[in-house]
Amino acid sequence: MDSKLLLVVFILVSVVACPSLGDLVPLPGKPIAPATICNATLYPSWCKSVLPNQTANNVYDYGRFLVRQSLWQSISFLNTVNGYLKRPSTLSKAAIAALEDCQFLTGLNIDFLGSSLQTVNTSNRTLSTLKADDTQTLLSATLTNQQTCWDGLQAATSAGSVKKNLSVPLLNDTKLYSVSLAMFTKGWVPKKQQVAGTSTWLRGRKLLQTVDDLKQVLVRDTVVVNQDGSGNFTTINEAIAAAPNNSAASKGYFMIYVKSGVYEEYVSIPKKKKYLMMIGDGINQTIITGNRSVEDGWTTFNSATFAVVAPGFVAVNMTFRNTAGGIKHQAVAVRNGADLSAFYRCSFEGYQDTLYTHSLRQFYRECDIYGTVDFIFGNAAVVLQNCNIYARLPLSGQFNAITAQGRTDPNQNTGTSIHKCSIKAADDLASSNGNTKTYLGRPWKKYSRTVYLQSYIDSLVDTSGWREWDGDFALDTLSYAEYDNRGSGSDTTNRVTWPGFQVLVNPTDAVNSTVSNFLLGDQWLPPTGVPYTGGLI
């Protein structure tokens, strides 16, 4: 839809569905002044400047106003980006690439904020845990998308004037999204309750072991991809194009069975291809490969060999590769921005920035992840469980950082949880001279959050455990933790002493980062058929 037409449509809808702030009736009780409510945000002064100077309101009225303003601003920003892209001859290739990322991400934000507005417009009370998590996830993702847009523009050194002109609206919109998220968290999100303890754990139903064993998963249709022409399609992208648009979960998965072979394709699963399941013949049997990199002119976001944003995506028994090599720096194998997505028995192979867990809610089970610098990075709410994480030999002078988590706001419900995994050296690192330093992670953004639970950590991990990003940046705002790990690299005696790092000894604290609590996985993982452990073991 054209952005101008979208704006007109939204105006018509909002006039009917959204009363002005002054028309909203406050809930019974003492009114809340803007100065008071804004103290619960990251930007109190800016918040007060945006909110109308009224005291006859409550957190719900303020929240509705802010989410609606966020939606308006997203539409306005998209119009600005589109205006630049209509004049490509005036822009460098790097600027165009960054702006195209911003265009795509802002389109997602319009969707997320529209959905969030529907929720806040129909409720004046604390929501159920699941409903609140749905909207908090979407509002968290708007901030992530905005940050990704800005990161891309920052990296495009030739985008000087564009970057300068967009910096102010980007910063103001980021503040608006942050304040909206804070208000939603204060008004609609219940205090999180633990739903799984140390002795309570659940397993999802066992996923099909062969393609013919479909009893455990509801499938609406199946197509076969085979390069020899014996299937329905010879390429993966053709099969994706044939999948239905905006399918409901109740209809079952559209399953794409990808026969063994090396598929040299760049695969992107758009948002309308919901509830798609892709199954291969096994790791190193069905392989999707590419070699895009930042060094060769791609943004990190668009360097991915395989990218997905469609909700409900499931992948099984496949390998995803980026063969650019360490010398090409950022080169993503998989970028995942698909809510309620799962990868089972898959392999992710690259060097720097292998697995981009970009946003929303994700689960990985019995997967292999290979890389060097920041090779599991992003700002999703993600749990990796029973996975093998292999650090490779980096370039001379480099060190390995397994994670680089990118939470930018304390109200985002995001973070990386590594549970029951194995952290080891890949063959090339294991056979090297042993001078490479490997760390559990480093803080990419200010509120970076990562935890290792009940995992095996081999001797490759430096005794300090974690690495700074840049001096003392984020060391007192990050949230890093380790709990009940084993292996020679798990000794926490000489770990960093940052204010944001802790060694957990109480299982009650550790259980907050498990599938059942952190992802509310009991609500959405069973229909995928992917096995999981809900709590601690």
- Residues taking part in catalysis: 374
Helix (H, G, I), strand (E, B) or coil at 128: coil
Residue 373 phi, psi dihedral angles, 5° rounding: -95, 120
Distance CA 299, CA 138 (A): 24
DSSP-based three-state secondary structure for 239? helix
* 125 CB-contact burial (10 Å; exposed 0-12 / middle 13-18 / buried 19+): exposed
Give yes or no for a contact between 140 and 413, defined as CB atoms under 8 angstroms apart.
yes
HSE (CB half, 13 Å, CA atoms) of 477?
18
The residue type of 151 is D
Measured distance CA(194)–CA(509) in Å, rounded: 10
Laid out side by side, the sheet with 456-457 consists of: 261-263, 286-290, 319-322, 347-349, 368-371, 388-391, 422-425, 456-457
Q: Hey, which residues does 378 pair with through a beta bridge? A: 405
Q: Which two tokens stand for residue 448?
A: 């970076």
DSSP bridge pairs for 453: 419, 483
Torsion, CA 405, CA 406, CA 411, CA 414, rounded to 10: -50
Query: Nearest CA to 55 among 85, 77, 32?
Result: 32
For the beta carbon of residue 168, count every other beta carbon within 10 angstroms: 9
Q: What are the φ and ψ backbone dihedral angles of 109, each rounded to 5 degrees?
A: -60, -40
- Residue 351 CB coordination number (10 Å): 28
C-alpha span between 3 and 177 (Å, rounded): 20
- What's the rounded Cα separation, in Å, for the pair 406 and 466? 15
Distance CA 141, CA 286 (A): 31
Decide: 501 and 494 in contact? Cβ < 8 Å.
Answer: no
User: Is the separation of the CB atoms in 266 and 294 below 8 Å?
Assistant: no
C-alpha 425/C-alpha 457 separation (Å) is 10
383, 336 in Cβ contact below 8 A? Answer: no
Burial class (CB in 10 A: 0-12, 13-18, 19+), 267: buried
3-state SS, residue 316: strand
To 10 degrees, what angle do helices 93-121 and 59-85 make?
150
